[in-house]
Amino acid sequence: MVAYTFQWHVVPESAGALAHGLKLTLQLSAISFALSLVLGLVVALCRLAPSRPLRALAYTYTQIFRALSLYVYVLFIYFGISAVFGINLGTFAAGVVALTLLNSAYMAEIYRAAIQSVDHGQREAALALGLGHTRTFSSVTFPQAGRVAVPGLVNQLVDIVKDSSIVAVIGLLDLMGTTIQLVSTERAPFELYTATAVAYIVLILAISAAAALLERRLARHLRGGGSGPSPLEWMQRYRFGGRVPT
């Protein structure tokens, strides 16, 4: 501590580069999140399908892609696959694929649990009205399951934003990659890592706040006019990804 000279001026000087890295982090996260949302739902529907092979396939998917860490996927996809098949994905695409595979497997489980949580009588009532299976799902089951799934899906988004920093290992200049590069040239690790950490925290708190608003909106019909969860309650609910032990 004593021998260190703070050089906070490095941070505003690097703002441009950091902002560019942040933009890349946002793009990577947003695209991976959107793809995972869709792919996860498809896998969840296969998990619940009447067809046995389809169920087995979806089960295998969720088990395999949840089994390894993102770190392994990124390296495997970027270096491993390209070495064998000669497919050069590029760092951004490799990051998207890795994040999507891992998170869609988690999301499939979130969706599945949410769909199964909807009371069986809801489906019965819709079928009794003459709605087909597709319309029963789209008008009755999914809207209710979706509300249940929102907190879990938001946690997944938080994970994606944080985990996306791992793509720095294949040289993608996202927020983390940019910071690592700047640290090696500017020699101000404390200042730069602090700035980056603050950026991540602000980003994730903003996501949590937006999610809480969304959740309150979706739960309107259950409150009967009362107020939603207090700020403390939703802070607890979105403990920065839901993985911090209480």
Partner 1 sequence: MSEAAANQAAELDLGEEIVVAEGIHKSFNRGHKEREIHVLRGVDLQVAKGEVLVVIGPSGSGKSTLLRCLNFIAPPDAGSVTFLGHCLTGEVPRRRPAERMRYERALRFYRTHIGMVFQHFNLFPHMTAADNVALGPTRALGLTRREAKERSLEELERVGMGEKAGQYPSQLSGGQKQRVAIARALAMRPQLMLFDEATSALDPELIGGILEEMKRLAESGMTMIVVTHEMGFAREVGDRVLFMDEGVVVEEGGAREVIESPQHERTQAFLSAILS
In the complex, which residues of this chain contact partner 1 (CB under 8 A)? 119, 121-122, 124-132, 135, 139-140, 143-144, 147, 220-225
| DSSP class of 239 | S
Among 157, 147, 175, 124, smallest CA distance to 20 is for 175
Q: Are 192 and 11 in contact (CB under 8 A)?
A: yes
Q: Can you tell me the distance from the alpha carbon of 37 to that of 54, in angstroms, rounded to the nearest whole number?
A: 19
Shortest distance (Å) from residue 41 CB to partner 1 = 18
Shortest distance (Å) from residue 222 CB to partner 1 = 5
- Kindly tell me which of 187 and 220 has the beta carbon lying closer to partner 1: 220
Shortest distance (Å) from residue 227 CB to partner 1 = 15
Virtual torsion, Cα 42, 111, 47, 64, nearest 10 deg:
90
- Kindly tell me which of 133 and 243 has the beta carbon lying closer to partner 1: 133
Q: Tokens representing 159?
A: 């994970």
Shortest distance (Å) from residue 185 CB to partner 1 = 54
- Kindly tell me which of 23 and 220 has the beta carbon lying closer to partner 1: 220
- Kindly tell me which of 86 and 226 has the beta carbon lying closer to partner 1: 226
- Kindly tell me which of 48 and 218 has the beta carbon lying closer to partner 1: 218
**Local structure of 241: helix, strand or coil:** coil
15 vs 22, 36, 167, CA distance in Å? 10, 31, 21
**Local structure of 228: helix, strand or coil:** coil
Q: Are 187 and 26 in contact (CB under 8 A)?
A: no
Neighbours of 67 (CB within 10 A): 10
- Kindly tell me which of 222 and 232 has the beta carbon lying closer to partner 1: 222
